[in-house]
A and B are shown apart, each in its own frame.
Chain A
């Protein structure tokens, strides 16, 4: 059973608009959440993270929101730029538990000029 789900395999957004990527998880014990970005022919790179004691973390154009009651995580990119076109993976971690980073299956974001 998949513990982390990114239900949209792809998303297309106009340049300059907001991109919203979503992620749902099943285990309420997860307490650290990360987003990774992956370009073709490259490994994933860390983008932004949030701990369960917060509901928002912002870094430049990137903001991650956490809704613990809904077990939902989202990444907002605004304004979207062509260089943001990539596959985005959410990942979750349980500090006191299995000590494993569990990834979603990814969402391919395409920014159209």
Chain B
């Protein structure tokens, strides 16, 4: 149990589908993140939320839509994705206000867009 739980673990969707990824953390953290890991590439930061407020959108296409209803939950809503969006999507949480607080990652959702 990592303290950060992501569902589903695997997702296959067509380009016209709408789906959502869910992340929940039980660590009392107030900062939550979405990262994308593509094959042979560094982890790419997508979105950051601090105390439920989005503080970072790293030039992510609008077909990815994050939602943070409270400090424990984070969603990533997906619609009209492209095959190149297939990747491992990782959620993470940390204490806010300092990047020196290590990130705690979930186990990720492996997304395949067909």
Contact = CB atoms under 8 A, between A and B. Distances in A.
Given A41-B107, A43-B4, A43-B108, A105 B102 contact: no
Interface of A: 2, 4, 9, 32, 34, 36, 41-46, 49, 51, 89, 93-95, 99-106
Interface in B27-76: 40-43, 45, 56, 58
Given A46-B104, A93-B99, 17 more contacts: A32-B99, A34-B102, A36-B103, A42-B107, A43-B90, A43-B92, A44-B90, A45-B105, A46-B103, A49-B100, A49-B102, A95-B99, A100-B56, A101-B103, A103-B43, A104-B42, A106-B42
A43 B92 CA distance: 9
Interface of B: 2, 4, 6, 40-43, 45, 56, 58, 90, 92, 98-100, 102-108
Contacts, number: 57
